[in-house]
Amino acid sequence: MILEIILLSELLQTPSGKFTIFGKPVKETVIVLPVEPKKPAVVGKSFAEALQDLTYPEGWDAEKIVVNLDPSVVAAYQESERVKKALR
């Protein structure tokens, strides 16, 4: 409690809100790290084409994707959609 009062009085006595601890100013250290993009920007394409190029790897083909669904999951989904439709 006493320490809190001392710290508050120090804060109120400092100009422009700079916080000091017992008369010593707190050093502000700013570290700036350069961030390099994971993939280079795509130039000369529309936004949609650039987004697709950045999202999907080269040679990606939607025809080669296979999705295996469990019949019980499909039945549960169809039942939930039926209930939603009935409640509307």
> Could you tell me the residue ranges of all domains in the chain?
1-26
CA gap 51, 10 in Å, rounded: 53
**Token match 């700013």: residue?**
30
The model carries a pTM of 0.29
Q: Is residue 53 very low, low, confident or very high in pLDDT (cuts 50, 70, 90)? A: confident
66 against 76, higher pLDDT: 76
Which of 79 and 38 is assigned the larger pLDDT? 79
Average pLDDT over residues 10-30: 61
What is the token pair recorded at 42? 């795509």
Q: What percent of the chain has pLDDT over 70?
A: 66
pLDDT given at position 79:
95
> In the prediction, which pLDDT does 19 show?
55
